[in-house]
Structure 1
Amino acid sequence: MFLEELFDRKFVDAVLNEWQKTMMDLPAGFRQAYEMGLISSAQMVKFLATNARPTTTRFISRALPDGISRAFIGRIKQEWDLALINVLTVTACNAIVVWSLAPSRSYGNTFKFDLQNTLQKLPNNVFEKSYPLREFDLQKRFHSFFYKAAELCMVGLSAGAVQGSLSNFLANKKEGR
């Protein structure tokens, strides 16, 4: 159902009365916008529907961190799968980045190829401290920076490709309905 955007104060007050709310029940910023006449009746309905009764949308908006909940709020249920893909991609990328930059100790495995042996001797990140079995000089730290940059670029490229493919698949599936 489409609600017309009416900025007339009596319509906004009627919405508040219908929800059995007063101006004092509104958060400070929203109340100030209401007093200035910047809130329409449709915006008030949307705000009250999200914040005045227990719904799935309200549960998600309260349970998740702000950045993640914003991916869901304001979207209709038909778009939640796309938002979920975005959130899962961000979560996976964050986990991979944290995991790949976490300090770790290597005690000298021997590999078949020289490149593998060289990469294993690099610090895990630029700021990793030297320890008795590994000395990290400026050159190794410099190479580590570019190796990690390439590694993280590949993570981003891979995650973006998977996310884009899934989003296109779901969008095409919805158009075919």
Structure 2
Amino acid sequence: MLTAQKLEFQDRIARIAAGQGSTRATVFVGQDMTFSYVPRNRRRKDGLAEIIANARHSLSFPVCMAIGVVSYGLYLYGQWILRGLPQAPESLDLEMAVTALATCCITVLLTHLLGLRARALYVPKLLGVAFGMMFFHNFVHAYPAFFDQAFSPLWVAKITSMTEPHSLLFRGVSFSF
């Protein structure tokens, strides 16, 4: 038996030395792409689909910022429904932290529902929340009739009396421009 194996091995060596029997074939390394499946989201888009995909990607930053501002508005609406008229908080730092955390949660939920889940969009989401926390009262000053209908005239009067128009609100203090 050992001699049969030796003979077979010697035959292989002879074929290799002679260059016969697929000894000089090309060796492919890697995945055979002929029959591989490319997921739908990885396929190249053509024409209008590519333009829409590029526009959606370009608009995702300002959309996330806008959602952050809207989330702060939703937080204020929920706070108004649950607590009533806004009162001066006892601890401004704690109130800002709770507001920021709740607004960030609302923002993440809304952007998740809209499909804006990329990690790169966390920064514009947070910028939108911060922008909403500092500048939302200016919308109330600019459009009091809308906020009268959405909240109440008492709420609008309280916000406009606590803040100044065209200002930045930080820790309960309005800084005019």
Q: Do they fold alike, i.e. is TM over 0.5?
A: no
Question: Which structure has the larger Rg over C-alpha atoms?
Answer: 2
TM-score scaled by length of structure 1: 0.25
TM-score scaled by length of structure 2: 0.25
Higher strand proportion? 2
Higher relative contact order (CA 8 A, sep 6+): 2
